[in-house]
Structure 1
Amino acid sequence: MPDETMIADRFEITDLFTRFALLLDERRWDDAGAVFAADVVVHSPRGGEMRGLDSLVDFMRKAEVEGELTQHTQFDLLVELDGDQAAVSANSVVYYFREGAPPHQIGGLRSSSAAVRTPLGWRISEHEVKPQWIRKD
């Protein structure tokens, strides 16, 4: 694979995970197909195993807490490319707050994911999130 393609893939995958965080914070569930593959598998301590985009979107809608907002930050993104597939891991800190107020809860997460190249670009095909710590004020 030419270096230019690998660099472009890494940028696109990094952007994919930024779009994922924004999707969660902005609750744009109808845009989930721009982040996840249709046959996505997600492993979550709150939702168990979800298979398929519809199942994941249904879970995200039901998990909303009235009046609670989030800010997801992701860092230490590690992308290991293998052709049209990639293994991706990251650390995240999620801030939970109400409009105009400081966070009442902060959590640290570790995630591991698989991403695949599709005709529409890179998409997350599998995602597992593992809480590392939580602080409630």
Structure 2
Amino acid sequence: MTERKPVGIDFESWVDRKIREAAERGDFENLPGAGEPLPGAGNPYHDENAWLRDYLRREGVSGDAMLPPSLLLRRDVERLPETVRDVTSEHEVRATVAELNRRIVDGCGCPPAHRCRSRRWTPTRSSGSGGSGPPGWTSRSRRRARASRGPAPRPGCAGGAGSFAAAEPEPARNTATVRLYGRMDSATLADRLEITDLLTRYATAVDSKDWALYRTVFTADAQIDYSTAGGPVGDLETVVAQLTEQLNLFVRTQHFISNIAVDLDGDTAKVRAMFFNPMIVSPGKQFTCGGWYNHDLVRTPEGWRSTRLLEEAAWFDGIEAAFSP
């Protein structure tokens, strides 16, 4: 058992003493990686979440631990038919469903009932089973016989052998949400984290006018189009040269990026994200604009990079007053 902190000693002194004693015993000697630099150390553009992605891949840890409880619950609701598929006892099936329903109720914060986003489940007896089998369950031999007669009803549909009936119907939109997030594995989560960081790096680079940092967002052959906002169009270096001149017109800019939609496809991705930009020309003179950034991304040895950026400006407010004498 871990030794408890004695009464009368503050935690800082207690921890410092335990570390010193461990060092004196040699507990920290010859540890794996001792004396080696941390991965990415010294790189000013090192991704702060790299350690998390490396840990997930190295340890084979599921990304489930990173999901909020509500998404974990939706995933388990979707996987319920698969979870009980090979269970041979009605008691086990009912226990599994009861535990899932308990989590649904807890997650709903009920009352009020309308806050529930996941439906509750009830095992039902198969119609025409003759009463010989437990509700919602068939033996392996009966499943094989049923398979030989044709496709079985889909799990989750009321009626039919081995089905589950929902106590309340679930909107189609909610079902899509469950499927989208319930199947997100650790690699997908890591990619989405890195892509979000890429967009944050883009905004930081533009607002700080750090063009070296800006270049790390794109591939060397990237094409960039700011024409809908009256900005430059062309390859990376052409755009950087023109942005350097144009943004000197502003004493301060602030790019807010949100509503990031990511469509992953192996080593490529398409991203559409909203932006809201206050642009300060001088004290008391500013305008705002908003729209979308559309990126085509590719995975590179250095991480995700944009091969194409199309800015889609949707509105401007106060631009004439900002540049008036």
TM (normalized to structure 2)?
0.39
1:79 corresponds in structure 2 to: 262
Within 5 Å, which residues of 2 pair with 1:54-133?
A: 54-97=237-280, 101=283, 104-133=286-315
Instruction: Judge conservation of contact 1:94–1:106 (CA < 8 Å) in 2.
Output: yes
1:25 corresponds in structure 2 to: 207
3-state SS, counterpart of residue 248 of structure 2: coil
Instruction: Judge conservation of contact 2:201–2:213 (CA < 8 Å) in 1.
Output: no
Shift of the 67–81 alpha-carbon distance from structure 1 to 2, 3 Å rule, reads closer
Aligned mates of 1:63, 1:110 — CA distance in 2 = 20
Cα shift at 1:47: 3.6
Q: Which runs of 5+ in 1 are unaligned?
A: none
Instruction: Judge conservation of contact 2:276–2:290 (CA < 8 Å) in 1.
Output: yes
Instruction: Judge conservation of contact 1:115–1:123 (CA < 8 Å) in 2.
Output: yes
Select the structure with the greater relative contact order (CA < 8 A; seq sep ≥ 6). 1
- CA RMSD of superposed structures (Å): 1.8
The structure number with the bigger radius of gyration is 2
Instruction: Judge conservation of contact 1:106–1:135 (CA < 8 Å) in 2.
Output: yes
Q: Which has the higher strand share?
A: 1
Which 4+ residue blocks in structure 1 deviate beyond 3 angstroms? none
Aligned mates of 2:190, 2:239 — CA distance in 1 = 28
How many residues align? The count is 134
> 1:84 is aligned with what amino acid?
D
Cα shift at 1:92: 0.5
Cα shift at 1:111: 1.8
